[in-house]
Amino acid sequence: MNAFITRLGKAVGNVVGVLYQAGRDAIDMVLKNVLPFIAFIAFVIGLILETGVGEWLADGLSGLASSLPGLLLLAVIIGLPVLSPLLGPGAVIAQIIGVLLGTEIGAGDLDPALALPALWAINPQVGCDFIPVGLALGDAEPETVEVGVPAVLFSRMVTGPLAVVIGWLFSFGLYS
Amino acid sequence: MFDWLADAATEFISWFQRGAETFNGLVVGIVPLLIVLLTAVNALIALIGPERVNKFGEWAGREGFAYTPIRYLVWPVISVFVLTNPMAYTNGSFLPEIYKPGFYDSAVSFVHPPLGIFPHVNPGEFFVWGGILAGIVELGLNESELAVRYLITGFIVIYIRGLTTEWFTRRLWATQHDTEPAAA
């Protein structure tokens, strides 16, 4: 009986220990990686929204987006490794351009068949601002982060416009 | 004079107030869930045993083209669907280092394509989809047609992104680090 109770106590103690350590690791991760990043994007988003830079950017970019070549060019520009991390935070830019393009579609200025390539054209920068944190969440070593950040950014230069082409191919027969 | 100063001060502080609102929204909206989820995943890994979890990673991270759809399509889709943005990226920890950037690229690229059908994956960024959707709705067109096509192209694009990023990761690793990436 005594032996059983001892064993039970040890087993429970073990599980509690594991859970407690898991919580400690989770808090550590949030304090070291997630919260600093949230602070940074909150500052950037606030600045972009409040100074009107966001609208100005979105206005300039949405002018491009009235045809397929324009959408491709839009994807190329947004996917540039220098711009993509800046345009990424909170998907603010993608959402603003998306709303502008939606307005144009609703007004009949943009062919609704282009909606699918447009969805890809406004978003080649998705997550480009978040690469170090995303990799850290996946427990990546510093060496991996060092290589992974440029790898994703370079890759987007190719796959950003490519996604627009794929979207265009899959839009055949849509709303026609 | 003082009016002008007061206006300037109001404008100045408003930039940061907007940022503070955003900070609040993110901390309240994401962090609590993230902490609980991270704790659960950490505990699960510890209880299952890192060896067994690593086995899955080894399986998904095996050399050979046949395994690429597992790590750049099946795994990111399941991760995003179940854990949602941004918790999905924690699942990269199951893979060898060299595949983590590709997995991240696949997973993060999948946080918007399902929005038309499964908005739970990323409600905070709904208007990436919802903005263009609004135009379709205004014209009285069927929104599901676009939603389904967005999702299907999502599968194709994230797979290609995973492969492309893996290619770049290998190149960059070779030029920046002398050591071979672990388990690649």
- The ipTM is 0.76
Does residue B45 have a pLDDT over 50?
A: yes
**A165 domain-assigned:** yes
Q: b/e map of A128-143 (b: 16 or more CB within 10 Å)?
A: bbbbbbbbbbbbbeee
**How many structural domains are present in chain A?**
1
**A102 domain-assigned:** yes
Show the CA angle centred on residue B100, arms to residues B72 and A78, nearest 5°. 75
What is the pLDDT, as a whole number, of residue A120?
94
**Based on the domain organization, do B42 and B71 belong to the same domain?**
no
Confidence band (pLDDT; 50, 70, 90) for B41? confident
One digit per residue, the tens of pLDDT, for chain A of length 176 reads 888 999 999 888 888 888 999 899 888 878 876 787 778 777 877 877 787 776 776 677 667 777 889 889 988 988 888 888 887 777 878 887 888 888 888 878 788 889 999 999 989 999 888 999 899 999 899 999 999 999 999 999 999 999 999 999 999 988 87
Tell me the residue type at B95: L
Q: Is the peptide bond before B86 cis (omega within 30 degrees of 0)?
A: yes
- Mean pLDDT value across chain B: 84
Per CB-CB distance under 8 Å, the chain B contacts of A84 are none
**How many structural domains are present in chain B?**
2
**A28 domain-assigned:** no
**Based on the domain organization, do B31 and B57 belong to the same domain?**
no
**Based on the domain organization, do B36 and B63 belong to the same domain?**
no
**A149 domain-assigned:** yes
**Based on the domain organization, do B107 and B42 belong to the same domain?**
no
Q: Chain B neighbours among A 89-148 (CB < 8 Å)?
A: 90-91, 94-108, 110, 112, 115-116, 118-120, 122-123, 126-127, 130-131, 133-135, 137-141, 143-144, 146-148
DSSP E strands: which ranges in B28-67?
none
Cβ contact B127:A95 at 8 Å: yes
DSSP annotation of A172 reads T
Q: How far apart are CA A156 and CA B2, in angstroms?
A: 50
**A148 domain-assigned:** yes
Cβ contact B88:B79 at 8 Å: yes
Least confident of A157-166, B48-57, B166-175: B48-57
pTM (2 d.p.)? 0.77
Residue numbers of the domain that contains B34:
1-48
C-alpha distances out from residue A126 to A51, A86, B44, B85, Å? 23, 11, 30, 12
Tell me the residue type at B104: Y
Element spanning A174, H or E: none
Residue numbers of the domain that contains A74:
52-169
Query: Can you state the angle between helices A142-169 and B143-176, rounded to 10 degrees?
Result: 140
